[in-house]
Chains A and B, each alone.
Chain A
Amino acid sequence: MNEQAKKARDIITSYKGRPLRIMEVCGTHTHEIFRIGLRKLLPDNVELISGPGCPVCVTPVGFIDEAIWLALEKGCVITTFGDLIRVPGTEMPLAGARAKGAQVRPVYSPLDAVEMARQNPDEQIVFLAVGFETTTPSACLAAETAKKEGLKNFSLLTANKTMPNAYAALEGSADAFLYPGHVNAITGTAICEELKAKGVSGVVAGFTASELLTALAVILKNAESGEPFFVNCYPRVVKPEGNPSAQKLIAKVMEPCDTEWRGLGVIPMSGMRLKTEYADFDARKKYSMPEIKGRPNPACRCGDVLQGKCKPCDCKVFGKVCTPEHPVGACMVSDEGACAAYYQYGGV
């Protein structure tokens, strides 16, 4: 640990100000915070709560059902980020569909799924496009490449989401936000300035131990005055303007739409879908998919967990029926998920 990180740690451990609730919006933050044991350093009057920033966790049950429909009814090869494979659908997760003969392959990048389509012209490849502003450009690049090359066997099942309207939905749930650094790397920091003008405080944070410590120290120092604040604590990656090429690409390929967040319900205009010009690559249109409504397990409180209304251990099924081996809700599936993180690292 370097000198500055040590100073930051001292600021955190000796904090004696007013009680603070800080929400880390991003699931990778949740994961790293647990991995390095940061919560153990916090004084009693500072609470870190985990927000809805894990794309796997906010993916609704119905989306998994849609993917399984494509795999089992239409014989498509499903390509996906690894952690989506264990997320429960209404009847089963993709792993269960795989045991029934569905072809489900984890990939590192949507561009690898495009390559798979090139190599296997006889197979219909569908990529499950989940993720926030950070991940959406990669899906857009895949759609753009497929369009340019006229690929007939590649499409996207989209569930992409954007953060701004989610912040509005989360209003009042925390005294300050740790903003998701890699989302801001794409969008820039204007949104954070706007939130500050509305009285919402926060800092953009990176992901290394030193970056997380300094970001928290900055929050605790600034919170003393009681005035709303915004500080970019991740300037080596996040520029105020973000990544303009990525923003342009998203605007070219996708458009906002209403979308369902697991646990939060439908948030207007918080999703992204392919524009009509890319309809050939939209799996829902390509396969004339009927409307598929998922039925989540009613005992699961993932929604309340995502809004910071309850802790994972307050949920009746947590740790008993719902474990990483047999997840009931998505928050238990992804390593980023608040419930999985509590289950794995909680206790000590």
Chain B
Amino acid sequence: MCVGLSAKVVSVKDGTALIDANGAKREVSADLLEELEPGDYVMVHAGVAIAKITESDEEEANDVMEGLL
């Protein structure tokens, strides 16, 4: 449905964020997220940062699996 890209925010200016995914950089819209700061991680889709996220999926797996076992 929607290829998402998790990336680190390098800088934010006038509703635009420069993001970095493994060294691939691009400007994306930061209009849909409040209080975005350099160092934050975001999920990017079609040139728009759609969610603030935590970087790694590992902790999440721990939490989800702990709830299960």
Contact = CB atoms under 8 A, between A and B. Distances in A.
Contact, chains A and B (beta carbon distance below 8 A):
yes
Interface of A: 2, 4-5, 7-8, 11, 25-29, 53-55, 81, 108-112, 131-132, 134-135, 137-138, 141, 180-183, 185-186, 206-208, 210-211, 214-215, 217-218, 221, 231, 233-239, 243, 245-246, 249, 336
Given A26-B2, A108-B47, A235-B63, 5 more contacts: A111-B29, A131-B46, A138-B29, A207-B4, A214-B64
Given A132-B2, A141-B48, A237 B43 contact: yes
A84 B33 CA distance: 28
A268 B48 CA distance: 28
Contacts of A26: 1-2
B47 A110 contact: yes
Nearest to A5: B61
Nearest to A246: B32
A7 B32 contact: no
- Taking residues whose C-beta sits less than 8 angstroms from the other chain, chain B's interface range is 20 to 34
A108 to B, nearest CB: 6
Contacts of A207: 4
Given A4-B61, A112-B47, A141-B48, A28 B2 contact: yes
Interface in B26-69: 26, 28-29, 31-34, 43, 45-48, 50-51, 53-54, 56-65, 67-69
B3 A28 contact: yes
